[in-house]
């Protein structure tokens, strides 16, 4: 076999980045937009040149199928997402798609055909930039919207999904049409940049992902008493913002004290009435915690509730968690992880770093239905979702070769694999 050509991967990444490239070099490619659809058309052409049959499903996920020797066998699937965040980078999602295409292209050039069919997937709307719902394309495949209508989903301007689909020549049919039959899929692999700095700090070329973290989001309201900023004594105030500041600091310090057990972020804060000469009466904020273990996630929630109660007593305000949304952690199946370890050895590399993913991915959604695994390659300085997003291409080449070996192993075995869970 001629093998993987990393220069070709780099060239494809640059070509794909032209679809949605901004003047400052960042990429904005929202799902269903002109740049996105042009990028999808280009990808379809490239997939076809690599010997794949190309299809689009009811919501716009793109799939290229490389035929196997026994087409009736469940397929091995690989890929990632095509959309970007506003002013994002050129590797997030795109590298996983391009890497998968390069693997298949190398097989075509060598005249090699796997036992099972192999599908290269480019999902739509993973970032949630249009409908505010992450991993939309993968969720549609998993059947999470099977009972919904395309008219139920709207963007921030009130534009319905059915309108987006109609504009792109996709029939505005029921979302059930995008649901896959999971029994027709043997496994799924996703190569992705880490989006953190662990691999860069440790100078590791790639890692195998063991878990994908759970995410716990809390909508919190702190209610004190709005009052005159000049005439109200300091010891008589019920300042909701001061209470919120104390809570934020304590949440931050608790996450540090967990020694890597979980991370916590407060990214939104609304102060009312929001006047310079009025003591804040109400503050609304959101606290997000992430952990690779569901026990840790629940413990962080319990501690947050205790902190909120203590802060309320101290400052004379009422603290309430008005809403909570939890996505549990997912342990990726040992069977797929073991295949990835064997692929590392087959590629001639020493045993790989193994680590959880602290970001959400399509693989987490699909892992509930299809045995799934992930490979990380470095993000330089941990930067992602920005134009500075970059990787070490020598390291990326190693990660792609592991993907290549893993796909070949999985696509040439008759055994089934188990799904994960935690």
Which residue numbers belong to the known binding site for Zn(2+)? 81, 92, 127, 192, 385
CA angle 289, 126, 268 (to 5 degrees): 40
Mark 327-366 as b/e (b = at least 16 C-beta within 10 Å): bbbbbbbebbbebbbebbeebebeebeebbbbbbbbbbbb
Neighbouring C-alpha atoms within 13 Å toward the C-beta of 294: 8
DSSP string, 343-372: HHHHTTPPPPEEEEESS--HHHHHTTTS-E
DSSP string, 312-332: HHHHT-EEEEEEEEEE--EEP
Q: Which residue numbers belong to the known binding site for allantoate?
A: 217, 277, 290
| Bridge partners (DSSP) listed for residue 91 | none
Neighbours of 225 (CB within 10 A): 16
Q: Which residue numbers belong to the known binding site?
A: 81, 92, 127, 192, 217, 277, 290, 385
Burial of residue 247 (number of CB atoms within 10 Å: 0-12, 13-18, 19+):
buried
């Amino acid at each position: 076999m001629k093998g993987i050509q990393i220069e070709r991967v780099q060239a494809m990444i640059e070509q794909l980045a032209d679809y949605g490239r901004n003047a400052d070099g960042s990429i904005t490619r929202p799902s269903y937009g002109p740049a996105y659809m042009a990028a999808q058309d280009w990808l379809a052409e490239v997939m076809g040149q690599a010997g794949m049959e190309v299809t689009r499903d009811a919501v716009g996920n793109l799939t290229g199928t490389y035929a196997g020797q026994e087409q009736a066998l469940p397929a091995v699937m690989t890929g990632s997402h095509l959309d970007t965040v506003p002013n994002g980078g050129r590797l997030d999602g795109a590298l996983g798609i391009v890497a998968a295409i390069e693997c298949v292209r190398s097989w075509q050039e060598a005249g090699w055909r796997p036992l099972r069919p192999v599908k290269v997937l480019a999902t739509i709307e993973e970032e949630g930039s249009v409908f505010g719902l992450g991993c939309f394309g993968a969720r549609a495949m998993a059947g999470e919207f099977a009972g919904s209508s395309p008219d139920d989903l709207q963007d921030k301007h009130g534009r319905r999904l059915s309108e987006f689909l109609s504009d792109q020549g996709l029939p505005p049919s029921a979302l059930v049409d995008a649901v896959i039959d999971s029994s027709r899929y043997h496994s799924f692999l996703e190569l992705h940049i880490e989006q953190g700095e662990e691999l860069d700090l440790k100078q590791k070329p790639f890692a195998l992902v063991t878990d994908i973290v759970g995410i716990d989001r809390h909508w919190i309201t702190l209610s004190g008493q709005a009052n005159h900023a000049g005439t109200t004594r300091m010891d008589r105030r019920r300042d909701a913002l001061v209470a919120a500041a104390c809570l934020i600091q304590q949440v931050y310090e608790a996450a540090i004290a967990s020694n890597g057990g979980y991370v916590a972020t407060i990214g939104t804060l609304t102060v009312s009435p929001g006047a310079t000469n009025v003591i804040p009466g109400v503050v609304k904020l959101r606290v997000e915690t992430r952990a690779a273990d569901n026990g840790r996630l629940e413990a962080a929630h319990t501690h947050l509730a205790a902190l909120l109660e203590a802060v309320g007593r101290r400052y004379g305000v009422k603290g309430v968690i008005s809403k909570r949304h939890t996505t549990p952690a997912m342990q990726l199946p040992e069977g797929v992880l073991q295949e990835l370890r064997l692929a590392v050895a087959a590629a001639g590399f020493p045993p790989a770093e193994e680590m959880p993913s602290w970001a959400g991915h399509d693989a987490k959604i699909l892992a509930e239905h299809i045995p799934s695994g992930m490979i990380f390659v470095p993000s330089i300085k941990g930067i992602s979702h920005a134009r500075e997003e970059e990787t070490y291409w020598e390291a990326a080449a190693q990660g792609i070769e592991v993907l290549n070996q893993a796909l070949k192993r999985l696509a040439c075995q008759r055994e089934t694999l188990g799904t994960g869970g935690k």
